[in-house]
């Protein structure tokens, strides 16, 4: 879905995919220098740098392309963290079953949580878009919302992985 939204945003105006100058360096530098509880402050930094560095980046289409580029960065991190966390939970679930326990499945609960989160994210971002009354700012508002909520969810799952690795 995110790739389709990116393609739609890029097709909507003069900025082509090869014109977007996006690199996650600003976000990654911030993440490396920031305590886990404050990492959400890093979301959007690379999109901001993209807007500044991309010819036409300050246009609605340029902003949308940069925001969707960072959204894709966070979506990739989210999917990686989800897959790793789900596998870790499935292993723990199997250990518990082999030891004779029958607790609720953490892997299934994670899957169910993520499945419930996706429609929440989409509805929250549709609401952000609606506040523009059909104006051109709705696209970037929606992209910004999707980027931020996806980044926050990725960071949440990554924190859980960090906690597991400390055990």
Two structure tokens written together for 137: 């700012």
Burial group, residue 133, by CB count within 10 angstroms (0-12, 13-18, 19+): exposed
For residue range 39-64, list pLDDT tens digits in order. Answer: 999 999 999 999 999 999 999 999 99
Distance CA 93, CA 99 (A): 10
Q: Closest Cα to residue 152, out of 52, 69, 75, 56?
A: 75
pLDDT at 4: 44
Residue 10 predicted with pLDDT over 50: no
Q: Is 123 helix (H, G, I), strand (E, B) or coil?
A: helix
Please say whether the beta carbons of 42 and 122 come within 8 A: no
């Amino acid at each position: 879905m995110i790739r389709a939204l990116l393609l739609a945003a890029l097709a909507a105006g003069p900025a082509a995919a090869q014109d977007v100058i996006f690199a996650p360096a600003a976000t990654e530098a911030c993440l490396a220098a920031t305590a886990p509880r404050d990492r959400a402050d890093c979301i959007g930094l690379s999109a901001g740098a993209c807007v500044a560095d991309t010819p036409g980046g300050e246009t609605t289409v340029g902003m949308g392309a940069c925001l969707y580029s960072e959204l894709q960065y966070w979506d990739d991190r989210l999917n990686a963290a989800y897959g790793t966390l789900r596998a870790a939970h499935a292993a723990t679930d199997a250990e518990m079953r082999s030891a004779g326990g029958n607790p609720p499945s953490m892997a299934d609960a994670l899957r169910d949580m993520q499945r419930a989160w996706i429609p929440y994210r989409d509805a929250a971002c549709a609401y952000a878009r609606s506040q523009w009354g059909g104006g051109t700012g709705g696209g970037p508002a929606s992209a910004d919302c999707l980027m931020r909520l996806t980044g926050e969810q990725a960071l949440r799952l990554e924190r859980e992985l960090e906690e597991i690795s400390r055990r």
